[in-house]
Amino acid sequence: MTTPGMSRRGFLAAPGVALRRTVLALLAALSVTAATASPASAYPGPGRVTGDVGVHDPSVVKRTDGSYLVAHTGDNISLKTSTDRIAFRDAGPAFPGGAPWTTGYTGGGRHLWAPDLSYHHGQYWLYYSASTFGSNKSAIFLATSPSGNSGTWTHRGLVVESRTSDDFNAIDPDLVVDHQGRWWLSFGSFWSGIKTVALNPSNGLRSDSVIRSIAGRNGGPIEAPTIVRRGSYYYLFVSFDYCCRGASSTYRVMAGRSTSVTGPFHDRNGTPMTSGGGTEILAGRGNVHGPGHQDVFADVDSDVLVYHYYADNGAPLLGINLLAYDAAGWPFVY
């Protein structure tokens, strides 16, 4: 199956670095004005992907053998693999025997949400959410694996939870390691917005009890944080508006930046992200509906923006675009 948009194997497959650099130089020279307020119609279509590309809330890590591992929302966390970032195949659930430690948050179900994949200390790290739709009785758990393969993940414990009496929601985790080697987990959806907590790098669990606020929309729809460090800035990507409504979804990818991993983050216009700020990076257009729940990872040819979007028939699909930074240091997709 091929997603809508350009068939750009040379752009979206890892080879072609020289071509990518030439194109990127041209795009950067032209993008300062265009990236400030691009209309949705100006965004590129998702790059070409094939095979098993039905996903929701994807996260991607490049494996030590050069292949790609995808984790996404599904029964016991669904996995996919690819050797070229184009053709994907199903790789089974992370927990084929189930995850009984999560059922107190899922109402007994197996559906686990919004994983985050990374590789550190010779292990693959998987943070993931357990909840029910619309509830903030939620939890984020951690598992590790030496290979990332189905059935090799070891439960490492509860990281952070929220209850119905809390003003935050413990879903949508994202791990970032700062320039001092400190570990931080951002998370959050609706309620009072996006939070971050400090982690112990030796075990991936919390190192203190402090919960810091880094973005919010006064109770409005914001979720799915992703933080990456590029140059002197930390970039916070979030999703505004509504997912999970098929072709009626209004998700869009927004960003801000800060010189500190804990903020304050501001958008291009200087508006704090704790006050609803955010610069639009990607939005729906044509037959691409509600792109969001983004992940960003570095590959040999570019930073890569990974997300889901909805087709006209409401099916959630994998979206991949390359990500660059204009002369003012703001990200844009191409």
Whether 318 and 55 have beta carbons less than 8 Å apart is answered as yes
Compute CA distances 63 → 79, 83, 118, 147, 231, whole Å. Answer: 13, 10, 9, 8, 24
pLDDT for position 22:
42
**Residue whose pair of structure tokens reads 């965004």 in the numeric block:** 43
**From 39-48, 143-152, 256-265, 299-308, the region with the lowest mean pLDDT:** 39-48
Domain extent, residue 87, equals 9-333
In a 3-state reduction of DSSP, which class is residue 136?
coil
Whether 135 and 114 have beta carbons less than 8 Å apart is answered as no
Is 4 a domain residue? no
Whether 141 and 101 have beta carbons less than 8 Å apart is answered as yes
Give the chain's domain count.
1
Is residue 310 predicted with pLDDT exceeding 70? yes
Whether 72 and 115 have beta carbons less than 8 Å apart is answered as yes
pLDDT for position 134:
87
Distance in angstroms (rounded) separating the CA atoms of residues 32 and 76: 43
Is residue 30 predicted with pLDDT exceeding 50? no
Phi, psi dihedral angles at 72 (to 5 degrees): -155, 165
Distance in angstroms (rounded) separating the CA atoms of residues 14 and 20: 10
Question: In degrees, to the nearest 5, what angle opens at C-alpha 267 toward C-alphas 181 and 159?
Answer: 40
Is residue 193 predicted with pLDDT exceeding 50? yes
Mean pLDDT, to the nearest integer, of 68-74?
Answer: 98
pTM above 0.85, yes or no: yes
With cut-offs at 50, 70 and 90, classify the pLDDT of residue 38. Answer: low
Is 1 a domain residue? no
Phi, psi dihedral angles at 248 (to 5 degrees): -90, 5
Q: What percent of the chain has pLDDT over 90?
A: 85
pLDDT for position 10:
32
- Contacts (Cβ under 8 Å, ≥6 apart) of 188: 168, 169, 170, 171, 172, 194, 195, 215, 222, 223, 225
Is 3 a domain residue? no
Is 119 a domain residue? yes
Q: DSSP H helical segments within the chain, as ranges?
A: 9-12, 17-34, 103-106
The DSSP call for residue 273 is: G
Is-cis flag, bond preceding 331, omega within 30?
A: no
Is 2 a domain residue? no
Is 40 a domain residue? yes
Whether 145 and 154 have beta carbons less than 8 Å apart is answered as yes
Is 235 a domain residue? yes
Mean pLDDT, to the nearest integer, of 37-49?
Answer: 82
The rounded mean pLDDT for the chain is 90
pLDDT digits (tens, 9 = 90+) for 168-191: 999 999 999 999 999 999 999 999
Element (H, E) at 43: none
Mean pLDDT, to the nearest integer, of 65-81?
Answer: 98
Is 158 a domain residue? yes
Mean pLDDT, to the nearest integer, of 209-213?
Answer: 97
With cut-offs at 50, 70 and 90, classify the pLDDT of residue 21. Answer: very low
Catalytic residues: 57, 223
pLDDT for position 17:
41
- CATH code, domain carrying 164: 2.115.10.20
